[in-house]
């Protein structure tokens, strides 16, 4: 994807999220008011109900995710509006809070609001499969932070991260969805990108069989160190580390470090075709072979051509699933990762884990929003 800029953290991407069921938003915190939070007639998306999860520290989980904690505002839009606002269709633009407020004013207040972030979406998907998942991400002690926490817990994800009492407000992303199912993201990161090593509690990582990390966080030094700390804890306890490369621009900016990670602590790698080719600087088949040699398992999504799971000399080609017409491509990669990680945590054969990934991706692209609208446990 490309970005039209707006910050020295250019191109830091954030994936989408599903609707949250929450009280109407009024104030984003004690320091300033977020305009988006003042609108009261946003729609609330109805998801399949999941038993809420609150605590925590001693609960064993299948997967814990670390990523950007966001609240997304999802709005139907048009190509004409994107052109008028000089937005690149299908891309992400990193924006400040004023721009986020202005966009929201222009598109109206008939959108839907949702807890979001790539790893957060994946953890919600794992819970929908019937797995146990937890999430580590930074929100502020404000209304949007409470919305995020309550929404994650309502979906069955353990989220017990203490909110920040100072600094920027909780991050928000205005997402414009055009009739062709493409989404254009406009992201105010807020406090989400300021994850620090002190935010990583050992017990939150050691309770999980698999640690899942977003490449998106790698642009901020403190967040980078937080991820490294989490990886060190997981590896030292004999658990598995998974990484999603997230974005080609992330890979280009941190190429050497990403290669170090996949040749070091990362055992499970998620990437799409463009990302894996960017990482290894070669064509697809050679890149898959190199990834399979570097990590225990390489999971490569290929769009309409399905996906490939490669482990050493083994290779499994996974056919795409179809549960209906494509409505919105948001979250396909996130839910694919949810299916695969759920399967791995239950020690299913690789081919079956890949099939679960394809099923989850097929479900999420059949509707607006990046999280399941029906329990994924009923699909397999």
Q: What is the DSSP string of 349-368?
A: -HHHHHHHHHHHHHHHTTSS
Contacts of 21 (CB under 8 A, 6+ apart): 44, 46, 47, 151, 154
The neighbour count for residue 264, using CB atoms within 10 Å, is: 13
Write down the domain spans for the chain: 35-378
CA distance 174 to 164: 22
- The pTM (predicted TM-score) of the whole model is 0.82
Which band of pLDDT confidence, cut at 50, 70 and 90, is reported for residue 25? very low
222, pLDDT greater than 60: yes
pLDDT digits (tens, 9 = 90+) for 76-125: 899 999 999 999 998 878 899 889 878 878 885 667 777 889 999 999 99
Res 194: pLDDT: 92
pLDDT digits (tens, 9 = 90+) for 273-310: 999 999 999 999 999 999 999 999 999 999 999 999 99
Superfamily of domain 35-378: Ribokinase (3.40.1190.20)
CA distance 159 to 167: 20
């Amino acid at each position: 994807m490309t970005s039209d800029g707006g910050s020295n953290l250019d191109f830091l991407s954030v994936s989408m999220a599903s609707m949250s069921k929450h009280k109407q938003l009024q104030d984003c915190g004690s320091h300033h008011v977020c305009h988006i939070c003042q609108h009261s007639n946003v729609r609330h998306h109805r998801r399949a109900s999941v038993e809420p999860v609150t605590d925590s520290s001693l609960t064993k989980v299948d997967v814990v995710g670390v990523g950007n904690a966001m609240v997304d505002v999802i709005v139907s839009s048009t190509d004409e509006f994107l052109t008028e606002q000089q937005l690149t269709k299908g891309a992400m633009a990193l924006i400040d809070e004023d721009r986020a407020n202005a966009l929201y004013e222009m598109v109206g207040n008939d959108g839907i609001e949702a807890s979001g972030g790539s790893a957060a979406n994946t953890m919600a998907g794992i819970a929908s499969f019937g797995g146990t998942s937890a999430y580590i991400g930074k929100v502020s002690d404000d209304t949007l932070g409470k919305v995020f926490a309550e929404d994650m817990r309502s979906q069955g994800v353990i989220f017990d991260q203490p909110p920040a009492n100072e600094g920027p407000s909780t991050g928000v992303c205005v997402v414009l969805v055009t009739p062709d199912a493409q989404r254009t993201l406009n992201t105010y990161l807020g406090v989400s990108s300021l994850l620090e090593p002190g935010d990583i509690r050992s017990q939150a990582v050691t309770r999980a069989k698999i640690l899942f990390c977003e490449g998106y966080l790698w642009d901020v030094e403190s967040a980078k160190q937080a991820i490294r700390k989490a990886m060190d804890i997981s590896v030292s306890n004999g658990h598995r580390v998974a990484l999603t490369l997230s974005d080609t621009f992330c890979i280009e900016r941190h190429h050497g470090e990403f290669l170090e990670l996949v040749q070091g602590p990362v055992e499970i790698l998620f990437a799409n075709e463009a990302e894996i080719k960017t990482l290894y600087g070669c064509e697809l088949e050679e890149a898959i072979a190199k990834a399979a040699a570097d990590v225990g398992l390489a999971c490569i999504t290929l769009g309409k051509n399905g996906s490939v799971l490669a482990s050493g000399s083994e290779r499994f080609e996974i056919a795409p699933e179809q549960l209906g017409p494509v409505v919105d491509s948001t979250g396909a990669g996130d839910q694919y990762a949810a299916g695969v990680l759920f399967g791995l945590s239950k020690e299913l054969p690789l081919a079956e884990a890949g099939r679960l990934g394809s099923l989850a991706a097929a479900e999420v692209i059949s509707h607006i929003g990046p999280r399941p609208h029906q329990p994924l446990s009923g699909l397999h």
